[in-house]
Structure 1
Amino acid sequence: MREFENPDRWDKAAEHYERTAHPFTARFAEAALARVPLTAQSRVLDVATGTGALAFAAARTGAQVLAVDFSPGMVARVAAAGLPNVDAKVMDGQDLALPDAGFDAVFSIFGVIMFPDWRRGLAEMARVTRPGGHGVVATWQERGAATFLLLGQIRRKLFPERETMAMPEGVMALGEPDAFARELVAAGYHAPRIERAVFDYELDIAMLDEPDTLFGMSPDWAGLTAEDKEAVVAEARRMAGTRPILPIPSTALIAVAER
């Protein structure tokens, strides 16, 4: 089992993820949400919700939201918000314990793309979307985002002879718009519309004082020696120069398709 497929890993990372990644991914969640009209009568499913960036944004429209994730730690974070129109449950997005055609809109923001069987995840999303409803999926383009992207860039500069972490198969397969559209159609959706969205991850350079916290979720970091890690941190500081914040432009593809 690869680390990102292990719910225990995400349970342990939930607090750090909520503090560092959630504000960043929330910007893409808002961009995805803006592409689908929701009302207080809408039924919304957020697959692989993480700490609930999309779920909370959808809840602000008044919609009834079900947020699911295979990580109990992540689900607990969503439930702790106590929003009356958000229900959070532990559930495998590759085998949703939900009836057919039960939702007006089904979202997965950087979630299904990480599944071992991401095609099944897409098909499950389509299965539970009502006819005339929408499926919305966001994936990373290029080589990921935020600190993962930065670490990969630095590794390729400092250690060009070394291999970097392989991206999940779903990210690689869906990283090009035409291929992304074909997979959504194969899953059971139609008329997909795919657009790019770019936001900066704003890295507080002070966080480089605790690099294991900053980069620790990446296998590319765990495989470095102490000397290598010092070199990576030094390069990140060099890139920032005198700036207290280092912007890391990160590109996503956001697809909206009809059922």
Structure 2
Amino acid sequence: MPSKAPAIHDPAHWDSVSTNYAAEADRMTGRYAQAAWELAALPPGARVLDVATGAGALLVSALRDGADAVGIDFSPGMVEIAQARAAEISPGRRALVMDGQQLDFPAESFDAAFSIFGVFMFPDAAAGFAEMARVLRSDGLAVVAVWENAGGAGPAQLFAQAAQRLFPDQPVPLPMARLFNSPELLDAAFVEACLRPEAVHRVTYTWPAPPADWFREHAKLAYGWSPVWKMLDDAQRTAFAEEAAALAADLPPEGISSTALVGIARKAGID
């Protein structure tokens, strides 16, 4: 019998946290999505694809600026939220359930393809990059945001620290089979997909420090995607959340600084 997919690759996991994600995490990840959208500087009316749209932060930014945009995600729960948000701005079906490793769009369909904290977590990230390149028109832009800290951002960083404290003799497993968390690694992924790297921007925001109760109530949201979570029983998960809450007590008043790398690459034009 095949083993169950890790939570990070399981649509049901993201379905289970979609409402909390939209209410909590999206408030912060949406800021990075807006920054990525502004860095792309696309003309009005551009045809835009958002791969692994989640709750639709980038999709909403694009639609508000007049882009002809559509988002895809493998989680029906996330797609439902993204579609509801998009419908407030633009009519039609703007969010679709789809595998980003095998896009159901013809080649050369989009002026730009974005993935904000999505494609780098795919089981086959190289396939995700390649599919973004395939659906781009000649001279189109690929824009990919990844976390510079391989353990994630915001509260997830505290849960990673908690794992290290609770299991000092065990390496904390990362969910990604391959890392892209440096400009060199991100550029290499673009080149592998036959895209020409243009720039990698560092974008840093500070996540407000959540109160201790937040860590008790939202441990699954912040860290349920990690292989560490699967290792723990209910009692251990409670202790894990308490450890993260204790770490939060030592945060500086401004909160948790988190940096994203926003890579931009272009599909070569036809001479």
- Shift of residue 44, structure 1, vs aligned partner: 0.6
Matched, 1:240 2:249: yes
**Residue identity matched to 2:242:** V
**Residue identity matched to 1:251:** T
Unmatched runs of 5 consecutive residues or more in structure 1: none
* Equivalent position to 2:201, from 195, 199, 212: 195
- 1:215/1:221 contact within 8 Å kept: no
- 2:159/2:244 contact within 8 Å kept: no
Count, aligned residues: 256
* Equivalent position to 1:160, from 168, 180, 188: 168
* Equivalent position to 2:97, from 86, 90, 93: 90
- 2:102/2:131 contact within 8 Å kept: yes
Distance across 2 between alignment mates of 1:60 and 1:104: 17
**Residue identity matched to 2:9:** E
- 2:158/2:244 contact within 8 Å kept: no
- 2:17/2:221 contact within 8 Å kept: no
**2:126 — aligned with what?**
119
- 1:140/1:253 contact within 8 Å kept: yes
- 1:44/1:103 contact within 8 Å kept: yes
- Shift of residue 100, structure 1, vs aligned partner: 1.1
- 1:207/1:214 contact within 8 Å kept: no
TM-score (normalizing by structure 1)? 0.89
- Deviation digits for residues 90-109 of structure 1, max 9, x if unmatched? 11111111011111111000
Distance 1:76 1:38, change over 3 A: same
Superposed CA RMSD in Å reads 2.3
Distance 1:124 1:235, change over 3 A: closer
User: After the TM superposition, which parts of structure 1 deviate over 3 Å for at least 4 consecutive aligned residues?
Assistant: 211-216, 221-225, 227-232
**2:266 — aligned with what?**
258
**Residue identity matched to 1:65:** A
**2:188 — aligned with what?**
182
Secondary structure, aligned partner of 2:15 = helix
Distance 1:97 1:211, change over 3 A: closer
**Residue identity matched to 2:196:** H
Distance across 2 between alignment mates of 1:113 and 1:191: 16
**Residue identity matched to 1:240:** A
- Shift of residue 219, structure 1, vs aligned partner: 4.0
Secondary structure, aligned partner of 1:163 = coil
How many percent of aligned residue pairs carry the same amino acid? 37
- Shift of residue 33, structure 1, vs aligned partner: 0.8
Distance 1:215 1:254, change over 3 A: closer
TM-score (normalizing by structure 2)? 0.86
- Shift of residue 246, structure 1, vs aligned partner: 7.0
- 1:151/1:220 contact within 8 Å kept: no
- Deviation digits for residues 25-53 of structure 1, max 9, x if unmatched? 11110111111122332111000000001
Distance across 1 between alignment mates of 2:20 and 2:263: 28
- Shift of residue 7, structure 1, vs aligned partner: 0.9
Secondary structure, aligned partner of 2:101 = coil
Matches within 5 A, 1:61-140: 61-81=65-85, 82=87, 83-84=89-90, 87-140=94-147
**Residue identity matched to 1:247:** G
Distance 1:2 1:43, change over 3 A: same
**Residue identity matched to 1:236:** A
Matches within 5 A, 1:17-28: 17-28=21-32
Task: Decide which moves more: 61-70 or 154-163.
Answer: 154-163
- Shift of residue 238, structure 1, vs aligned partner: 5.3
